[in-house]
Chain A
């Protein structure tokens, strides 16, 4: 199949701006379509006023932005948003629909595929063309220990869930105004069967934006030692992270979890302290610039990813390293 590729990106908002994963999807879509004119379009769904985000998309070079606005789209629910996106897909007629894997995106992609009676595949990290010109999607499986490539059909367009793989930011490549194409989301009689009772508010700096992340795992031995992780993170001007194992035990708050089912981080420095390096943990941090591992087991998988390794008992090492960093910081 060598027909012209066109990608429709389902762009999602994140508190009044585009979610950063949108920029990853734009980059991947441009690569797939070879930068062809009009090859990449986007759809925005949300309450009245959502259209304002179109400017951020135009700046990335995406000229055509379908916009579906409706009061019922104020809450991030897959059912309503998938209905609105499905209308845009029928108008845009892309060969592929690309959905960034936000909390909403994870549910929206399968919902949308079911509505469109199309194929769906999640966790993509790369889109490419095979020798015959068919679209291929690269997805890690088994937590990232294995990599699979899927060939996806284009008619009806397959829905591909895409993960954030790099710390990308909006790169302005265009200064021209694109188009807004209004879409009727068809939510006239729609009744949301999910009602919000309460939601924790986003607070404080975010793990995924941190330049330094210091994470602790089971090797800390007991809950109280997590304070060393917090202290070191603070001294280094970073944020504390954790393995799932210690979040499950309540040593660290759930929001600290780094990995496949936690947050994906992209810091300049990642310190894995008492963490084995299971593929599901690596999935969330292996693209960090410099990785330091502190682990008493010289054969721990994490050392294959680390630039620097320390094989001391972490409870002994951490206070010494904190003191050293304090010294360094006070001199600078």
Chain B
């Protein structure tokens, strides 16, 4: 039996954040140095939904596995767990503790590594390539380093080719890289994996009765001071929404060729063509 742990994070909808920022409607909370989330929907980080998908594909391929989903914090984590259960996750673990307030990526990785250890380890740890909020991409490699196991990042395909070996295709700037990695290992999933499936209505309904297990710092044997320490080392002191004044010159004309000629002229004057 292969044990798969999926790390999943709740994030504000990045399209809405973008639209708000552009419309000048995004607001900052000066106390917490975060954006105000009142009117912004939250949900599972899109890459993490793809990590769940990667786990399901392994199961579809005939891998005998248990799938655990672990998440730290969040304001409405039920949705994230319910979606995971509806897709076929067997167990959910929600990590919450007062001492987790203000954690950074490193602190979050310490929490997750401790939780994985507490749960008896995992053969394959799947996570997203980055959170769509802070775009860090730190948690996966850090969890790997803390557990002293390898990490393969930006994966578009994960298969088990023999007991204890995963074959991972990475989406790299030049195309693809295929590697064999010894398990246990962390693999971070990228959007190139493809669109994740949606749960059926029946599965979603059945999943409503399933609840994640809540674990505190003490439950997983984590020293709260350790988590606080990393929050102090990298502290956000300012947050700001860069304003952009448009100075675009719109080119108009009687026909497409007319506009095309005007643009070609303008660019040629700028010496860029």
A119 to B236, CA, bound (A): 12
A136 to chain B, nearest CB (A): 7
With a cutoff of 8 Å between Cβ atoms, the chain B residues found around residue A141 in the complex are: 133-135, 239
Per-position contact with A for B138-173: 1 when CB-CB < 8 Å, else 0? Answer: 111110111001111110000000000001000111
B238: Cβ under 8 A from any A Cβ: yes
Q: Which stretch of A27-35, A87-95, A107-115, A222-230 is in the interface?
A: A107-115
With a cutoff of 8 Å between Cβ atoms, the chain A residues found around residue B246 in the complex are: 303-306
Per-position contact with B for A253-295: 1 when CB-CB < 8 Å, else 0? Answer: 0110000110100001100000000111000000001101100
Contact residues, A67-90 vs B (CB, 8 A)? 77-79, 82
Q: Is B260 a contact partner of A320 (Cβ separation < 8 A)?
A: yes
Q: Is B257 a contact partner of A120 (Cβ separation < 8 A)?
A: no
A114 to B179, CA, bound (A): 23
B17: Cβ under 8 A from any A Cβ: yes
Q: Is B248 a contact partner of A293 (Cβ separation < 8 A)?
A: yes
A2: Cβ under 8 A from any B Cβ: no
- Interface of B (DSSP majority class): mixed
Q: Is B141 a contact partner of A78 (Cβ separation < 8 A)?
A: yes
With a cutoff of 8 Å between Cβ atoms, the chain A residues found around residue B267 in the complex are: 269, 290, 292, 308
A103: Cβ under 8 A from any B Cβ: yes
Contact residues, B5-42 vs A (CB, 8 A)? 14-15, 17-18, 21-22, 26, 33, 35
B190: Cβ under 8 A from any A Cβ: yes
Q: Is A114 a contact partner of B109 (Cβ separation < 8 A)?
A: yes
24 A-B residue pairs with Cβ-Cβ distance under 8 Å, sorted by A, are A79-B144, A79-B150, A106-B141, A113-B138, A114-B142, A122-B136, A142-B17, A142-B133, A143-B14, A145-B21, A146-B241, A147-B241, A151-B237, A158-B234, A193-B181, A193-B185, A194-B152, A304-B246, A305-B244, A307-B248, A308-B249, A308-B267, A324-B261, A328-B264
What 12 new A-B contacts, CB under 8 Å, besides A110-B109, A196-B177, A292-B263?
A110-B139, A119-B230, A150-B236, A158-B233, A158-B234, A195-B179, A198-B176, A261-B190, A308-B266, A310-B251, A320-B260, A323-B257
Interface residues of A (CB under 8 A from B): 77-79, 82, 103, 106-107, 109-111, 113-115, 118-123, 130, 136, 140-143, 145-153, 158, 193-203, 211-212, 236, 244, 248, 254-255, 260-261, 263, 268-269, 278-280, 289-290, 292-293, 298, 301, 303-312, 316-317, 319-321, 323-325, 327-328
